[in-house]
Amino acid sequence: MTGQAKHRAATIVGNIPFSFNEEEFRKLTHIDLSGPYAKAITDLLEDALATARPKALYKVCYIDNRTEDTVELEGIRFTSRVLSRNLSEVERVFPYIVTCGTELDTCLSAETDVLARYWLDGLKEMALRTAVEHLKNHLAEEYGLKAEKLSTMNPGSGNKNVWPISQQRQLFQLLGDVEGAVGVGLTDSFLMMPNKTVSGIFFPTEVNFVSCQLCTRENCPRRRTEYTGTIGLAGH
Ligand code: SF4
C-alpha cells in the first residue's frame, strides 16, 4: 500500500492498576517474604507501591509501504527482514512504549542500601509486566482484537540482526515526545531510561511470534520459548 503518510497522535495509557503479588515477587527476586527481612521489605514496598505509576504510550499505524526487508509507518522506515515478514499479513500495527514509570525509579535512586535497591528493582519489573499486560488488554478491547493473538517485536531483541537496537531511534521518532508523555528517555547507546521499560510494535497474528525463537543466547533467565531459527510462518 502506498500513499501520503497520515500522522496520528499517540495515546497515553495511565492509571494502570498495580498491586503487589507476593508469589510473582518471590519468583522474580527469590526472596522468601516470611524470612528475616519480611518486615523491612513489606514496609519499603508499601511506600513504593503508593508512588508507582506504570504507564504506556502507543499509536495506531497503518503500513504505508513495505519491501522484503523494510516497513514504513507514517513515512518512517524500519529495517528488518523479520519485521517485514511478521507484518506481511497485516495493515494495522501498534508501536508502543511501556514503562514501570519514573516514580519508582526515583524511589530506587534515593535508596542506597544494596538489598533495598534489589527489592525495588523487583517491584519495577512487576510494574512493567503489569503494564505490558494492561496495554495488550487495552488494545484488544479498543480495537476488537484478541489479546492472546497479539505478538510483539522489540528493537534489540533476539540475535542482533533480527531488528537492530539502533532502530529505537525511529520508534521514538514515530511516537513523538516520548519523554514528555511518559518520562522515558533514550540514551546515545539506545538504552531506555528508566531501565524497566520496553518498546516495540504489537501486531495481530494467527501464529504467535516471540523474539526468543530467533535468539541463540544461552541460559537466559527470561527465555519464553526455545530457539527455532524460524519465525513460524508457513513457507518460511
Ligand atoms: S532469549 Fe532472552 S535475550 Fe534472547 S530474546 Fe529471549 S528474553 Fe531476549
In tens, the pLDDT along 115-153 reads 899 999 999 999 999 999 999 999 999 999 999 999 999
Q: How confident is the model at residue 160 (pLDDT cuts 50, 70, 90)?
A: confident
Q: What distance in Å separates the CA atoms of residue 115 and residue 103, rounded to the nearest whole number?
A: 19
Lowest average pLDDT, out of 14-18, 159-163, 178-182, 187-191, goes to 159-163
pLDDT of residue 234: 36
Mutate to test the pocket of ligand 1, among 224, 225, 227, 228 (most ligand atoms within 8 A of CB): 224
Distance 92 CA to ligand 1 centre (A): 26
Distance 162 CA to ligand 1 centre (A): 12
DSSP class of 29: H
Write down the H helix ranges in 33-113: 38-51, 81-86, 102-109
Do 22 and 122 form a contact (C-beta atoms < 8 A)?
A: no
pLDDT of residue 88: 94
Task: Tell me, rounded to whole angstroms, the distance of Cα 180 from its chain centroid.
Answer: 18
Mutate to test the pocket of ligand 1, among 151, 208, 223 (most ligand atoms within 8 A of CB): 223
User: CB 90: neighbour CB atoms within 10 A?
Assistant: 12
Do 111 and 198 form a contact (C-beta atoms < 8 A)?
A: no
Pocket (CB within 6 angstroms of ligand 1): 157-158, 211-212, 215, 217, 220, 222-223
Q: Provide the 3-class DSSP secondary structure of residue 67.
A: coil
Look up residue 191 and give its amino acid. L
In tens, the pLDDT along 73-130 reads 999 999 999 999 999 999 999 999 999 999 998 888 888 999 899 999 999 999 999 9
Q: How confident is the model at residue 221 (pLDDT cuts 50, 70, 90)?
A: confident
pLDDT for residue 232 is more than 80: no
Q: What distance in Å separates the CA atoms of residue 183 and residue 194, rounded to the nearest whole number?
A: 8
Q: What distance in Å separates the CA atoms of residue 163 and residue 209, rounded to the nearest whole number?
A: 14
Beta bridge partners of 179: none
Q: Provide the 3-class DSSP secondary structure of residue 2.
A: coil
pLDDT of residue 4: 59
DSSP class of 149: G
Is 220 or 184 the better-scoring residue by pLDDT? Answer: 184
Q: What distance in Å separates the CA atoms of residue 158 and residue 98, rounded to the nearest whole number?
A: 19
In tens, the pLDDT along 19-71 reads 988 899 988 888 888 878 888 888 899 999 999 999 999 999 999 999 999 99
Q: What distance in Å separates the CA atoms of residue 173 and residue 38, rounded to the nearest whole number?
A: 44
**∠ Cα 202 22 51 (to 5°):** 70
Distance 2 CA to ligand 1 centre (A): 34
Q: What distance in Å separates the CA atoms of residue 90 and residue 106, rounded to the nearest whole number?
A: 39
Distance 98 CA to ligand 1 centre (A): 18
Mutate to test the pocket of ligand 1, among 162, 213, 220 (most ligand atoms within 8 A of CB): 220
Q: What is the CA radius of gyration of the chain?
A: 19
- Measured from the Cα of 220, ligand 1's closest atom is 2
Q: How confident is the model at residue 163 (pLDDT cuts 50, 70, 90)?
A: very high
Q: What pTM value is reported for the model?
A: 0.90
